[in-house]
Amino acid sequence: MTNYETLLSVENLSVGVSDKRKINTVIDNISFEVKKGEIIGIVGESGSGKTMTALSVIGLLPPSVKILSGKVNFHGKNLLTIEDKEFRRLRGSEISMVFQDSMTSFNPLLTIGAQVEEMLRLHSKYEKEEYKALTIEALAEVGLSKPQEIYQKYPHQLSGGMRQRAMIAMAMITRPKLVIADEPTTALDVTTQSKILGLLKKMNEKHGTSIILISHDLRVIQSICDRAIVMKDGKIVEAGPTQELFSDPENEYTKKLLAAIPVPFSKNSIMSNDIQNEIFIRNLERSGNTLKKDIPDPAEQKNRQDDILMIKNLNVFYSENGKRLLGKRSRKQVIHNMTFSVKQGETLGIVGESGSGKSTLAKAIVGLNKEIEGIININDGATEGLVSFLSKPQMVFQDPYGSLNPTKKIGWILEEPLKLQTKLKKKERLAKVNEIIREVGLSTEHLKRYPSQLSGGQRQRVAIAASLIVNPKLVILDEPVSSLDVTIQAQILRLLKDLQKKYNLTYVFISHDLNVIFQICDRVCVIYQGEIVEMKEAKELFFRPDHEYTKELLKSAMLISKNCCHI
């Protein structure tokens, strides 16, 4: 491995954003090398400067960002001083990029074929027919079946995984020497994730392309990278061969990152103590419960037995509007004949890939989707409470950017549900808002801010606060931590647990991430194409899965995190 010659070397690169006359350094004096045929991983949390590093290599920094000092040498040429025209030629033919969000990175108005082909047209000269043939060949190479048909399709007609494959085809079609993949799998399901990573690895081996893989997910980095760089606050805190770096981290931050990866029930995991304790305690409780079965605590027994949510023979439909005035509405069934119940105080995990109907189910439960057949029975016991709010089930959405109104201040957002659902006076409402904001670990200072002035984790705390302020008994959490960094994820999960204990909440926790599910859920329900394929106690499911699909899910989750488990 040491014999590879250097393809790209970044020397003492510093990059800054000028803001109000002072310059904020976002990349601080970093140096690294990429050798030919190597896959190098850059890992760090959001804001660590990993994307900026990639953008400065490919020369696509936004105009407000300035290069302060340093060199980026590619094939002996300094990319920072090279002429625009020359750089344009290099971009695409020698260096290309795979972006995170394949939906927005493709032009929605052009077919996949036309867009992949354009890459080739810009950088080489062939006959018209040859272009098409080469494009179709490239689409076939990335594992897209029926490339002829894909060629004709528009981006929205493909699934996320297929789009990401097409994106890789586009990046690889000119046989570049270096591909920069910025979070290429973050938006994808876990089974698709492992396939895409496999594809990147295959392309790397087949064509000898060097890859810079940027991710916040250590498991992704570990699965295919030869070497890795850990970044924090624009600095490289640690670098080295992946195996060494992750088995024997020297830097405190690397250790912290590794610790935050959810590695449930693993004997050797170095998970943060709190979480491990929680799990340990929960295990004890569980075994305790079975031991104490003969002398049940009557109150607890009653609580445990009460079903807060009962779903019977539920079918949920999704209707597509007819395109024309008199066009027929077509109805698509998303959820097929589901029956399950959730007990008071428990956390039910719902896991499945995108398109499996998880979110549709969540929307049906809270009443956002009205096209249902069957029974959804919510028994919230609202009559018992002293302050009897109308405690409809509330929901926390995946994307806190989208679920908080960007034009309203946090204080307004938190007060709004009280205005609508209670008859509290202005003063009482404010008192309640002040109470809840502290409850979720923020201060009253944050009430005066707009959502855009908060970080992702803070925003998700606000979203949780907004859903809890009306004292619901049942909260549906739809991928509440999927868009967050691992260390923030761990914090939010801990917050959710604390709140659950304090208010005796019942959670329905939806996620595609088995590791997160494993960490927080008592029972897990696996959904595949709108049907429940398996439903069990969490531990049971993970160690003794029955259904083939569950096994496959677990396998791909483990494949990505296999190295973590060896630590």
Partner 1 sequence: MKKMVKIKGKTYHLNYILGLVITSLVLLIVIIGFFYTPYDPNTMNAALKNSPPSLMHPLGTDNFGRDILSRVMVGAGTTYVIAVSIVLIGAFFGTVVGALTGYFGGWLDEVIMRFNDVLTAIPSILLALVFVSIFGPGTYNIIFALGILFVPSYARVIRSEFIVLRERDFVNNAKLMGAGSLRIMFIHILPNTRNVLIPALLIGFNNAVLAEAGLSYLGLGVQPPQASLGRMLSEAQSYLLDSPWYALAPGLMIILTVLGFSLISGGMGND
371 binds partner 1 (CB under 8 A): no
85 binds partner 1 (CB under 8 A): no
62 binds partner 1 (CB under 8 A): no
Instruction: Give me 164's structure tokens.
Output: 């990401």
Which one among 390, 544, 546, 565 touches partner 1, defined by CB under 8 A? 390
Nearest to partner 1 of 483, 519 (CB atom) = 483
Nearest to partner 1 of 88, 392 (CB atom) = 392
* Nearest partner of 463 among 382, 404, 393, 378, judged by Cα: 404
Q: In the bound complex, what is the minimum distance in angstroms from residue 47's beta carbon to partner 1?
A: 22
DSSP designation for 98: E
Q: Site residues for partner 1, window 449-488 (CB under 8 A)?
A: 463, 466-467, 470
* Nearest partner of 40 among 237, 243, 226, judged by Cα: 226
Q: What angle do CA 202, 46, 408 make, to 5 degrees?
A: 130
3-state DSSP assignment of residue 307:
strand
Nearest to partner 1 of 352, 393 (CB atom) = 393
395 binds partner 1 (CB under 8 A): yes
User: Going residue by residue from 507 to 536, which x/- string records binding to partner 1, judged by CB under 8 A?
Assistant: ------------------------------
The position carrying tokens 């956390």 is 347
Cβ atoms of residues 309 and 475 within 8 Å: no
* Nearest partner of 357 among 310, 342, 365, judged by Cα: 365
User: Going residue by residue from 400 to 419, which x/- string records binding to partner 1, judged by CB under 8 A?
Assistant: --xxxxxxx-------xx--
Cβ atoms of residues 39 and 204 within 8 Å: yes
Nearest to partner 1 of 464, 564 (CB atom) = 464
Nearest to partner 1 of 201, 392 (CB atom) = 392
In terms of Cβ atoms closer than 10 Å to its own Cβ (0-12, 13-18, 19+), residue 90 is buried
133 binds partner 1 (CB under 8 A): no
Nearest to partner 1 of 245, 378 (CB atom) = 378
Nearest to partner 1 of 14, 422 (CB atom) = 422
* Nearest partner of 191 among 561, 556, 542, judged by Cα: 556
Based on its alpha-carbon atoms, the radius of gyration of the chain, rounded to whole angstroms, reads 26
391 binds partner 1 (CB under 8 A): no
User: Going residue by residue from 329 to 368, which x/- string records binding to partner 1, judged by CB under 8 A?
Assistant: ----------------------------------x--xxx
Q: State how far the Cα of 532 lies from the Cα of 84, in Å rounded to an integer.
A: 55
In terms of Cβ atoms closer than 10 Å to its own Cβ (0-12, 13-18, 19+), residue 371 is middle
Binding site for partner 1 (CB under 8 A): 20-21, 321, 325, 363, 366-368, 390, 392, 394-395, 397-399, 402-408, 416-417, 420-421, 463, 466-467, 470
